Amino acid sequence: MTRGEQLYEGKAKIIYATDDDDYRILYFKDDATAFDGAKKGTIVAKGIINNQVSCRIFTMLAENGIPTHLVKKLSEREVLVKNVAIMPVEVVVRNIIAGSLAKRMGRPEGEKLPFPIVEYYYKNDDLHDPMINRDHVLAFGLASEAQIDQARELALKINSILQPFFADRDIILVDYKLEFGDFHGQLLLADEICPDTCRLWDAESLEKMDKDRFRRDLGKVEEAYVEVCRRVCDQ
């Protein structure tokens, strides 16, 4: 598959065309952003680590019946993926209270939820990705009823797979973001699952092992990413 022209550059990845319009090449960057781009920086080798972690997780999820956009890893920074039409709704799954949920509800970080909470956010940088509900999704035509309901169903199934996967590696899966897209009428898991898109805590120390270390100036960001990669990919 030949890499063609650059189609889009986002905060974490670059999308390239290929000689087959059904496929795209994703290039993972080292750039790091937080707070809607207000904070910018670089995490050394982040793109390599995120690509490796995401490929491992997407492959594992596919083996467990989750349809994904991943075709194959091309290099340490590139993957070949199906050209999905991304649903403009981010699906967030929460198992532990942290981040914005702690602020909204006035609860301490670290409190375990009685069951996973699924939230929706409208993908719009200008509006700072506002939180929305199912009625907003349908009223504004962001996705069909079948798509949003299937996305929720898949998100909960993914959660039931990922929680024990990370637990076996002494990592608590606190919360994470998922994106879905349509590929010839089939809804596929897309984008990436990695320390950029998940809150991951060490099961013993509760040390943060994700982009919160960058957001909150906690230091040892690269070390945390490397450790996640080691546990996810070497076990």
Q: By the 8 A CB rule, do 23 and 203 touch?
A: no
Helix (H) and strand (E) counts in the chain? 6, 14
The pair of three-digit structure tokens given for residue 86, joined into one six-digit string = 């991304």
Q: Distance between CA 144 and CA 198 in Å, rounded?
A: 26
Rg (CA), the chain: 17
Quote the Cα angle for 11-92-156, to 5°. Answer: 135
pTM exceeds 0.85, yes or no? yes
pLDDT of residue 193: 98
- Span 72-99, pLDDT tens digits: 999 999 999 999 999 999 999 999 999 9
Q: Distance between CA 179 and CA 84 in Å, rounded?
A: 11
Taking alpha carbons only, the member of 147, 123, 118, 146 closest to residue 133 is: 118
| DSSP helix/strand/coil, 62 | helix
Neighbours of 144 (CB within 10 A): 14
Quote the Cα angle for 33-222-195, to 5°. Answer: 60
Kindly list the structural domains of the chain, giving each domain's residue range(s) and its CATH number in brackets, ordered by start: 3-82 (3.30.200.20), 85-219 (3.30.470.20)
Q: Where does 49-107 show beta strands of DSSP type E? A: 70-73, 78-82, 85-86, 89-96
pLDDT one digit per residue (tens) for the chain, 235 residues: 899 999 999 999 999 999 999 999 999 999 888 877 678 899 999 999 999 999 999 999 999 999 999 999 999 999 999 999 999 999 999 999 999 999 999 999 999 999 999 999 999 999 999 999 999 999 999 999 999 999 999 999 999 999 999 999 999 999 999 999 999 999 999 999 999 999 999 999 999 999 999 999 999 999 999 999 999 998 7
pLDDT of residue 37: 66
Q: By the 8 A CB rule, do 26 and 81 touch?
A: yes
The DSSP secondary structure of 19-57, one letter per residue, reads: SSTTEEEEEE--EEEETTTTEEEE-TTHHHHHHHHHHHH
pLDDT of residue 158: 98
